[in-house]
Amino acid sequence: MSSEETFDVIVVGAGCLGVASAFYLQKNSPDKRILLIDRTLAAGQANTAMSAAAVRNMFASSTNQLLTDTSIKYFEYVQKELGYDLFFEKTGYLWLLSDEQFNHESVKTWMERMDKSGISYKVYNKKELKEMIPGLNVDFSGDEEAELMNLQEVSYGLFGADCGVLDPTRLVEYYFEEFKKMSHVKPRFGVEVEKLLLEADPKLDLPGEPYVWQKKKVNGVITNKGTLRADVVVLAVGAWTNQLLDPIGIDSMTKGKKRQLFVIHAEDKKELLELLDVKGFNELNCIPFTILPSAGVYFRPQLQERGFWIGCGDKVGRAYKYIQTDEDMVPESAYYENNMYPVLSKYFPAFQSTRPVNSWAGGYNYSPDRIPFVYLECGVLVVNGASGSGIMKADALGRIADAVYRKEAEAELFGGKKIPSSTLSIKDRNVEVESVII
């Protein structure tokens, strides 16, 4: 490998957003030489692999609704029509809400906007929920612990049948393999970008360039394997974005947080198996992906493993991180026990005395409005800030990244709907703030 190879495009990051972007860029610019690189040793091995990998179109902003709804429909198409199994299962999403939450202005807006966008959902009341999920505790009266823990009693369920779970590794493989079929350049792994190559445009070969009075452009990346040049660098590196954008003076406006998942097996416990096999919500006859009313705790059913993945949307008290560190990849053993378990076992006593058999951690990258960014500035095409829902937006974001690259005014999403290519930019951003994040 020479130290100054040149490509048309370098896509940095082979996570879900990187591979989807690479796929659509190559598909629509078949002659371009597009190099995909990642610092890990395979595609989708960083935070994409750490995700709960649930997908939903139940967002409060019409932007996120559009990005997810079209992406999910594409995933269905890939699985059903192209026959590529993504392990996409329509478990549905079930938000358990207290009376106060259900009647909050933000939830009203959320439901109104879903109605308007044609996102289907159903409201269950307490009685219905109790009948469908016998193991759900909807009565905390007289429970002093629950009161001390600020737990809100379940009064309603908001259920979306078109939501579900998938295997993120399979999804990444799909885009990656399809990209490789078209690509002129073999993707490279174990290539770590140390910095973006910001240069004066045109270069005057003066010491200390670029100066403030010069135009500037990113002309490639400096990596642990040498300098790689390209007209455009696509940056799809999630929680590591600041490390690359800050030094060249572009504010990503995103910041990461550590998130953890803990695996509970149901096999040895009758009550947990009954919970897993709850009927009436979906054709799989399983409990949906379920969000509790308190403390940000949620779980996803894992049917192959016959168990649950338990997660928690940490808010105040969990540090924001400028960039992801190794520590953010290490789960905390006491976290399930002290934080999730007390909440989980109050709402679902079936979890009493459970201990995780596995756990992992990763980085979750927030944007200020919880809507992703896609924009091209100074030669860098940033695809970032998916705020915990990158997998479920991957297809739409890949298509938008491609439209931005080709300077198309609009991107066509799966199913034919169109979105202005500047919608997710910083400068011409035109989005509603997302209120339903987990």
* Contacts with a second copy, residue ranges (CB under 8 A): 148-151, 198, 204, 206, 208, 210-216, 242, 245-251, 253, 255, 257, 294-297, 312, 314-322, 334, 338-340, 342-343, 366, 368, 377-378
Report in angstroms how near the CB of residue 258 gets to a second copy at its nearest.
10
What DSSP designation does 438 have? -
Closer CB to a second copy, 257 or 265, in the complex: 257
Minimum CB distance to a second copy smaller for 92 or for 379: 379
Pairing assessment for the beta strands 122-125 and 216-223 based on DSSP bridges: unpaired
**CB 253 to a second copy: min, Å:** 6
Smallest distance, a second copy to C-beta of residue 350, A: 19
Q: Which helix (H) or strand (E) holds 19?
A: helix 16-28
Return the residue matching tokens 């960014």: 373
CB closer to a second copy out of 255 and 300: 255
Q: Which is nearer to a second copy, 276 or 436 (CB)?
A: 436
Please answer whether residues 228 and 221 qualify as being in contact, where contact means their C-beta atoms are separated by less than 8 angstroms.
yes
Compare residues 18 and 385 and give the one whose CB is closer to a second copy.
Answer: 385
Task: State how far the Cα of 360 lies from the Cα of 177, in Å rounded to an integer.
Answer: 26
Q: Which is nearer to a second copy, 38 or 369 (CB)?
A: 369
Q: In sequence order, what DSSP letters do the residues of 365-401 get, joined into one string?
A: EE-TTSS-EEEEETTEEEEE--TT-SGGGHHHHHHHH
Q: How far is the CB of 383 from a second copy (least distance, A)?
A: 19
| Secondary structure class of 60 (helix, strand, coil) | coil
CA–CA separation, 267 vs 262, rounded Å?
16
Q: How far is CA 173 from CA 42, 158, 383, in A?
A: 10, 32, 19
Q: Nearest Cα to 382, choosing from 390, 393, 370, 374?
A: 374
Residue (14 or 244) nearer to a second copy, CB: 244
Residues whose CB falls within 8 Å of the CB of residue 342, separated by 6 or more in sequence, listed in order: 145, 149
* Distance separating alpha carbons of residues 187 and 281, to the nearest angstrom: 42
Q: Give the nearest distance from C-beta 215 to a second copy in angstroms.
A: 6
Cβ proximity to a second copy: between 174 and 366 the closer is: 366
CA distances from 155 to 98, 101, 128, 184, 422 (A): 5, 9, 10, 56, 41
Residues 292 and 97 sit within 8 Å (Cβ to Cβ): no
State the nearest-atom distance from the C-beta of 88 to a second copy, in Å: 30
Q: Helices 394-405 and 62-80, interaxial angle, to 10°?
A: 100
Smallest gap from residue 255 Cβ to a second copy (A): 5
Please say which residue, 305 or 314, places its beta carbon nearer to a second copy: 314
Matching residue, tokens 């944007």: 367
